[in-house]
């Protein structure tokens, strides 16, 4: 519930006339959610219901009449899309609130630009002002590029949201009606609903107007190059080249020539002058993957380029000036490399201006089903076959695996499934053998309860039954063995640790067929 201070903020300044355009699928919800707060704030409402749910709005009008709402406070206008357009463009309306498709929302944004009208858009469940849990990268970036003040994933603290709205109102008075940027070439999308990936989307959105150097950290296979592509695509340099170079994949004696180019005759085989990756990336972005594998002498030359904006080709004597944004990535801990003297500290600080951490797949398990579906669809399209569909228990099983190869391993697994699975529906038994051999220990557990839960989930996913017949004896056996280990085989003391009498412990040992050292003399002290 809102406290009194929050309520005073919400009701302090009515806007005047508010045009409400609501969707067909939640007519009553929208009436309560949209219209009630507007009326409470002292506004007049012009409501345009969806064409197919006009009767609901007329019923609401009858309710307004019954409760004694003054005439003219709520005004309902029915009709098709042209009616909504008329409301949007009407000079007497001070604010437009719209919930619906992204395409219509873009039209409304364009129509209201420069008019001074207030605007509240919730487009396809993804608002540029409040982005839901299932928001994607494009939603986050579009929020910032479309003029949003902040990207606020749900759930959020109410007090923080109120403070943010106040600051956004101040900001909007200074900077309003920013134009929608032109559509850019689409690169492979990044899928992620997990909080850790939402933070990555947020960082990309914040950097969308910047040319600043970025360092990307993450294990192999987490998608570092995809993030680099996204940073470039949503930057002022998007119309210029994106050039990628993997430091670990190039022989050490060829790295400098790859980066900086070479003059004719610089070395054996250099029959012509060749431009390097820096020149190829002029005006755009140079992505240096696995920067931690860069040789020390090349680190020195890279540092000079970052400091001076110029370099010399191998064998050259004339400086070459470039305007290039650097995005570096590594799976290594550069701070450790710096301490070990394997990476220049001054270069590290040049690269570590903004750092983005890409989570492991095991740290974003909720994304695994969506990623798998995406990869299965891509593999099917690539191979011109029917798309495989994962059974619910198969999705559950995949979510509990460790995935040391991260997203790349999952992608390769989906290709294997597309080729090798016999039916359209993918059962647990259809997975690669190496995945079927991984048991409950696959997912690191914070406690024994979580480990037990993981084991149960996977056993049931495999079709196993009578779990307690296996689990209870195994549990008791482990507890007895551990207690006896801590007491050096003394059953009396082990029984105390377990909360049993010694007779009970002896009976359990016999029932389980355990061979243990230590005396089983019975002195009758059972409980």
Tokens encoding 461: 């996913």
Do the domain assignments include residue 189?
Answer: no
Same domain, 17 and 147: yes
Q: How many CA atoms lie within 13 A of 234 on its CB side?
A: 26
Do the domain assignments include residue 527?
Answer: no
pLDDT at res. 152? 58
Least confident of 264-268, 324-328, 390-394, 482-486: 264-268
Same domain, 313 and 411: no
Q: Mapping DSSP to helix (H, G, I), strand (E, B) and coil, where does residue 336 land?
A: helix
Predicted confidence band of residue 292 (pLDDT cuts 50, 70, 90): very high
CB atoms within 10 A of CB 489: 13
Q: Mapping DSSP to helix (H, G, I), strand (E, B) and coil, where does residue 326 land?
A: strand
Domain holding 434, by residue range, is 363-461
Q: C-alpha distances in angstroms, 242 versus 1, 218, 310, 335, 393?
A: 49, 20, 19, 27, 41
E strand or H helix that includes residue 467: helix 467-486
Q: Mapping DSSP to helix (H, G, I), strand (E, B) and coil, where does residue 76 land?
A: strand
Same domain, 158 and 22: yes
pLDDT at res. 158? 65
Burial class (CB in 10 A: 0-12, 13-18, 19+), 464: exposed
Same domain, 430 and 353: no
Q: How far apart are CA 421 and CA 417, in angstroms?
A: 5
Judged against a pLDDT cut of 70, whether residue 168 lies above it is answered with no
**Looking at per-residue confidence, does 522 or 502 come out higher?**
502
pLDDT at res. 149? 53
Q: Mapping DSSP to helix (H, G, I), strand (E, B) and coil, where does residue 115 land?
A: coil
Same domain, 124 and 242: no
Least confident of 337-341, 388-392, 472-476: 472-476
Give the pTM: 0.53
Do the domain assignments include residue 452?
Answer: yes
Do the domain assignments include residue 1?
Answer: no
**Contact yes or no for 356/203 (Cβ under 8 A):** yes
pLDDT in tens, 394-450: 999 999 899 999 999 999 999 999 999 888 999 988 999 888 876 544 444 445 676
Task: Give the mean pLDDT of 24-40.
Answer: 69
Task: Give the mean pLDDT of 47-62.
Answer: 77
Judged against a pLDDT cut of 90, whether residue 331 lies above it is answered with yes
Q: Mapping DSSP to helix (H, G, I), strand (E, B) and coil, where does residue 451 land?
A: helix
Do the domain assignments include residue 398?
Answer: yes
CB atoms within 10 A of CB 320: 18
Q: How far apart are CA 506 and CA 350, in angstroms?
A: 68
pLDDT at res. 184? 38
Handedness of CA 184, 188, 194, 200 (dihedral sign): negative
Same domain, 330 and 457: no
Predicted confidence band of residue 62 (pLDDT cuts 50, 70, 90): confident
Same domain, 406 and 326: no
Question: What CATH number is given to the structural domain containing 254?
Answer: 3.40.50.300
Domain count, the chain: 4
Contact partners, residue 347, CB within 8 Å, separation at least 6? 299, 302, 303, 306
**Looking at per-residue confidence, does 407 or 526 come out higher?**
407
Predicted confidence band of residue 25 (pLDDT cuts 50, 70, 90): low
Long-range contacts of 383-388 (CB under 8 A, 24+ apart): 383/418, 383/419, 385/418, 386/424, 388/414, 388/417, 388/418, 388/421, 388/424, 388/425, 388/426
Q: Mapping DSSP to helix (H, G, I), strand (E, B) and coil, where does residue 321 land?
A: strand
Same domain, 53 and 158: yes
**Looking at per-residue confidence, does 82 or 291 come out higher?**
291
Of 401, 428, 461, the domain-final residue: 461
């Amino acid at each position: 519930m809102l406290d009194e201070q929050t309520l005073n903020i919400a009701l302090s300044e009515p806007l005047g006339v508010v045009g409400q355009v609501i969707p067909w699928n939640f007519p009553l919800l929208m009436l309560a959610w949209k219209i009630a707060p507007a009326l409470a704030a002292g506004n007049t409402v012009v409501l345009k219901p969806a064409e197919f749910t006009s009767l609901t709005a007329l019923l609401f009008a009858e309710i307004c009449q019954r409760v004694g709402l003054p005439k003219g406070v709520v005004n309902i206008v029915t009709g098709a899309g042209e009616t909504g357009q008329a409301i949007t463009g009407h000079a007497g309306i001070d604010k437009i609130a719209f919930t619906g498709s992204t395409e219509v929302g873009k039209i409304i944004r364009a129509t209201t630009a420069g008019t001074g009208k207030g605007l509240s858009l919730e487009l396809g469940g993804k608002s540029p002002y409040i982005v839901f849990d299932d928001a994607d990268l494009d939603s986050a970036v579009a929020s910032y590029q479309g003029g949003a003040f902040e990207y606020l994933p749900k759930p959020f603290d109410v007090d923080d949201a109120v403070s943010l709205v106040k600051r956004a109102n101040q900001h909007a008075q200074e900077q309003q009606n920013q134009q929608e940027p032109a559509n850019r070439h689409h690169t492979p999308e990044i899928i992620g609903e997990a909080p850790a990936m939402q933070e990555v989307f947020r960082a990309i959105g914040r950097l969308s107007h910047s040319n600043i150097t970025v360092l990307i950290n993450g294990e192999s296979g987490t998608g570092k190059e995809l993030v680099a592509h996204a940073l470039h695509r949503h930057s002022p340099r998007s119309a210029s080249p994106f050039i990628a170079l993997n430091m670990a994949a190039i022989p050490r004696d060829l790295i400098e020539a790859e980066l900086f180019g070479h003059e004719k005759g610089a070395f054996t085989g250099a029959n012509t002058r060749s431009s390097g990756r820096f020149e190829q990336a002029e005006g755009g972005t140079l992505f240096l993957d696995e920067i931690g594998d860069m040789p020390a002498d090349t680190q020195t030359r890279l540092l000079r380029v970052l400091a001076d904006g110029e370099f010399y080709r191998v064998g050259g004597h004339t400086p070459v000036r470039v305007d290039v944004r650097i995005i570096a990535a590594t799976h290594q801990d550069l701070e450790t490399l710096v301490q070990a003297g394997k990476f220049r500290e001054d270069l590290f600080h040049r690269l570590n201006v903004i750092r983005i951490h890409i989570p492991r797949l095991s740290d974003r398990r909720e994304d695994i089903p969506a990623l798998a579906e995406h990869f299965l669809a891509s593999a099917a399209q690539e191979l011109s076959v029917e798309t495989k569909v994962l059974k619910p228990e198969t999705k559950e099983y995949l979510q509990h695996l460790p995935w040391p190869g991260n997203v790349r391993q999952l992608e390769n697994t989906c290709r294997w499934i597309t080729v090798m699975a016999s039916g359209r529906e993918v059962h647990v038994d259809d997975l690669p053998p190496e995945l079927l051999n991984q048991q409950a220990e696959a997912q690191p557990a914070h406690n024994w309860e979580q480990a037990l839960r993981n084991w149960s989930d996977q056993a049931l996913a495999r079709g196993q039954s009578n779990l307690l017949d296996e689990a209870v004896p195994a549990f008791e056996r482990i507890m007895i063995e551990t207690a006896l280990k801590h007491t050096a085989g003394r059953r009396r003391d082990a029984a105390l640790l377990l909360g049993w009498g010694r007779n009970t412990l002896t009976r359990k040992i016999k029932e389980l067929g355990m061979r243990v050292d230590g005396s089983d003399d019975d002195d009758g002290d059972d409980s």
